[in-house]
Amino acid sequence: MSLFDLSGKVAVITGSTKGIGKAIAEQMALQGASVVVSSRKPDVCDEVAASINARVGEGPGKAIAIPANISHKEALENLITQTRAQLGKIDILVCNAASNPYYGPMTEISDEQFDKIMSNNIKSNHWLCSMVLPEMQARKDGVIIIVSSIGGLMGHTTLGAYGLSKAADMALARNIAVEYGPDNIRANAIAPGLIKTDFARALWDNPEYLKKTMTGCPLRRIGEPNEIAGAAVFLASDAGRYMTGQTLVVDGGVVVGR
């Protein structure tokens, strides 16, 4: 059996109707997992789940759609409850959904914008992890993956609050790893560099910023969503079963090239 095989596993992936989250859902399904596609809009969730099922075909993996707004605890509780009702368990949780409503100097961010970043990028992940950890603990098996960012490792002139939230996500993964490692639960973060997604369009669609980023990147390019999905499959599968509490940087070498 392949080290990357996820047959029989159930994965919940937030923010999985586009970009990195969608790529993770697709690749986990291709490796045999049943995946839950989730974002705010029900029709888009249904569309993406259908496209994954068409791609997987008769393989062991499949996708279902359960919409949820990460801003609302009740919606996340429903996401977890409905997943258990339809698929029986949760083996893998991928906290991918995030918000960044502000781009600029930290001194000019409003309290409302700051609170939204911290709530959606940290508190919602804490909620979700707290909801799935008890069943993983009872089963003595489980994987949690938090999609962070190299913004949590580096200072930035226009993404300061976002970077703060992503540094906290790395700490959340470390704390879960230490607390729940004896129960065979692994928790890791992924820190992508600049990836070509709609979420990061304000950065890569800016010619000046894009040129600066690629010049400082040893691979001289930005990343693609599937390159983050591959890291997620590694962390979720037996290939990564001795890795926990870590932040896996996938950035084309930007951090080490500074």
Residues with catalytic roles:
162
Apex 92 CA angle, 227 and 16, nearest 5: 50
CB-CB contact of 62 with 29 (8 Å) = yes
Rounded CA separation 128/255 (Å): 29
> By CB neighbour count within 10 A (0-12 exposed, 13-18 middle, 19+ buried), where does 255 fall?
middle
Token reading at 200: 């990061």
CB-CB contact of 66 with 83 (8 Å) = yes
Biggest CA pair distance of the chain? 54
- 241 φ, ψ (degrees, to nearest 5): -70, -10
Rounded CA separation 100/145 (Å): 20
Rounded CA separation 136/49 (Å): 25
- 244 φ, ψ (degrees, to nearest 5): -155, 150
